[in-house]
Chains A and B, each alone.
Chain A
Amino acid sequence: MAGVALPQVLEAPIKGSSLWRDAARRLMRNPAAMFGLFLIGTFVFVAVFAPFISPYSPTEGTIIHRFLPPSGTHLLGTDLQGRDIFSRILWGARSSLWVSVLSVTIGLTLGVSFGAISGFLGGWVDFWMMRAVDIVLSLPGLLLTITIVLFLGPGLNTIALAIAIENVPIFARLVRSGILALKESDFVLAARSIGASQARILLQHVMPNALTPVIVQGTLALATAIVDAAGLGYLGFGPQDPATPEWGTMLTDTQRYLTSGAAFTALFPGIAIILAVLGFNLLGDGLREALDPRLKR
């Protein structure tokens, strides 16, 4: 009887588990991460469907209806030009989503390529490429971003580019150190010794492991990008076209009216930023725990 039971016991975990499936299962069991995913889902949904779900035009309002407090007709009230704040927040999600996704895509692509080349080639190429990374990293981040935006001009795309440049060295370092460690690891040696092909080792063993920290960092970088973009918008470098609402810019617009009993106009864009950022931070934390089995609770 034992002879029958044994293979089943051995087979079950091997059959149903892989790095990704295990991680996904761990992630699903983490309520905080799931809440983060819910926030992100809402954020993306709102950004995509803003034109269909916003009750008013985000850009048109009448001055006589300015600074209306939150009510049934205007859920979150109106701003200094009588525009519906709720609609502007929904549309503002588009700006934040666009900047964060664009900046992380550019930063991640350039950074991962840079780091992978550096790590694979090694030697002098690696040395000089990493010194370049050191140099960019020694610069204060926000100041670098502000300088780039000031020289290239304001707008969502320049903001995204500036944030991307800040992200490149971070991703480059992460991938390089991953590859260096994995090149020497026992499981790569083991894979080689059982005769796995070079391509199989690279794709099945090295890259998935080298990319896991990148996925975590990428998620957290989306959060940072939203904060940075709002900060740049707050400083006045957001989209100059008033037809494109942006959360940071909305805060500046109403900041001067804090004393006039219209403080709520500044409160809601701020809360929107926090919720979106919190979503990516929660998911990032959850991914880190899920992807690194050693951190298991």
Chain B
Amino acid sequence: MLKYIVRRLLLLIPILLGLSLFLVVFLHLLPGDPCSANLGEHSTPENLARCRTGLGLDRPIYQQYFDYMAGLLHGDLGVSATNKVSVTTEFAARFPATFELTVSAMFLAIGVGIPLGVAAAKRQYSLFDNFATVASLIGISIPIFFLGLLLQYLFGVWLHWLPTAGRYDLATYSYDGAGTNFLLWESLVINHNLAEFADVLRHLILPAVALGTIPLAVVARITRSAVLEVLSEDYVRTARAKGLTSKRIDDRHVLRNAMLPISTVIGLQTGLLLGGAVLTEQIFSWGGVGNWLFQAAVDKDFVVIQSGALILATIFVLVNLVVDIGYAYLNPRIRYS
């Protein structure tokens, strides 16, 4: 098992090498650079040239690549061309926001999606099953930004129940730089302040629901079909024939086997959310990774885009590795070597 994990981690190296090469070449092939984006159309050629020399963009591309890679090997992910903040610092400050949002969204997706899928499968073609099927189809068809707007309007503007932007009430609390930026943790465990914790939680609800709806629908659909497949297996009939209670059959035989495809989907969705909550973060003014990389793309900030993408690709691979290890735990027939 350990050997397998090490090998999978080693496989990350060629992927990251290839990805960095692809990104550097790709970004330089596209028109525009941080200088043209920063200085605008009306800057003089001298100003542009000075800016490019300052950022080292006038050097040959292979030299830029090697310098960038040399930095990476020393653990230096580079510095933003726009605000001169190091990528590592900015990522560390923003990742907690994205992490809390992703975990809450997946919590919702798994907590509601799996029971929904199981219940639908056990009453196949019933009214409830048809309703769940239609609901999950609409769930995967609804654009996230539209759902976000609806939630904001309904619960924020109309009912005044929940806040529609930010991670906490700026007027009452402050989290200035110090600390972990994991606000749920910070408010509850470090500050022991229940009111503060409730405030953070209230800010989290709408973005988490918006972000979690698509994974929820996907998880419910895959759960339904996985459970249906397992229910028709001979060993389930055998278990029933030898008189096991239906709860025991569900727990020990059905769910355990159905979890394999479900966990694949959960892993993929988690990996996607950790890197891709651009729209949700934009709608709810959530200062996370998606928002940051979106701004980097607007500024054509090469270094931030490159390093950000490398970090996200690494996270994506790691999440899927964890899922694959989970497989071996769930299914004793799978042994990695």
Which residues of B have CB within 8 Å of A140?
272, 275-276, 309, 312, 316
Q: Which residue of A lies closest to B144 (CB)?
A: A231
Which one, A223, A266, A274, contacts B138 given CB within 8 A?
A274
Q: Does A196 contact B (CB under 8 A)?
A: no
> In the complex, what distance in Å separates the CA atom of A119 from the CA atom of B15?
21
Q: Give Cα distance in the complex from A270 to B15, angstroms.
A: 38
- A231 contacts B272, CB within 8 Å? no
Does B159 interact with chain A (Cβ within 8 Å)? no
Q: CA separation between A273 and B143, bound complex, in Å? A: 8
CB-CB nearest in chain A for B282: A235
A20-28, A61-69, A77-85, A146-154: which lies at the B interface?
Answer: A146-154
Q: Which A residues are in CB contact (< 8 Å) with B278?
A: 142-143, 146
Complex interface: chain B residues within 8 A of A143 (CB): 275-276, 278, 290, 293-294, 297, 309, 312
B-to-A contact residues, CB < 8 Å? 14-15, 18-19, 22, 27, 30-32, 137-138, 140-146, 149-150, 152-153, 157, 272, 275-276, 278-279, 282, 290, 293-294, 297-298, 300, 305, 309, 312-313, 316-317
Could you tell me the distance between the alpha carbons of A157 and B142 in the complex, rounded to whole angstroms?
Answer: 23
Main SS of the interface on chain B?
A: helix
Interface of chain A: mostly helix, strand, loop or mixed: helix
Asked if B137 contacts A278 (CB within 8 A), the reply is yes
Interchain CB contact under 8 A, B279 and A142: yes
- Are the C-beta atoms of B141 and A278 separated by less than 8 Å? yes
In the complex, which of the residues A147, A223, A270 has the most CB atoms of chain B within 10 Å of its own CB atom? A147
Contact B150 A270, beta carbon cutoff 8 Å: yes
In the complex, A104 Cα to B226 Cα: how many Å? Answer: 29
Pick the contact of A135 from B15, B140, B282 — CB < 8 Å?
B15
Residue numbers in A under 8 Å from B140 (CB-CB): 281
Contacts of B279 in A (CB 8 A): 142, 231, 234-235
Interfacial chain A residues near B297, Cβ < 8 Å:
143, 146-147, 150
Given A131-B14, A150-B297, A270-B146, do A138 and B282 touch, yes or no (CB 8 Å)?
no
Q: Using Cβ atoms and an 8 Å threshold, which residues of chain B touch A142?
A: 276, 278-279
Determine whether the beta carbon of B294 is less than 8 Å from that of A138.
no
- Do A274 and B144 have beta carbons less than 8 Å apart? no
B145 touches A277 (CB 8 A): no
Judging by beta carbons under 8 Å apart, are A230 and B18 in contact? no
Residues of A within 8 A of B15 (CB): 131, 134-135, 138
- State which of B27, B141, B317 has its C-beta within 8 Å of the C-beta of A138: B317
Return chain A residues, CB-CB under 8 Å to B152.
Answer: 258
Assess the A151–B300 pair: CB atoms within 8 A.
yes
What are the residues of chain B within 8 A of A270 when measuring CB–CB? 143, 146, 149-150
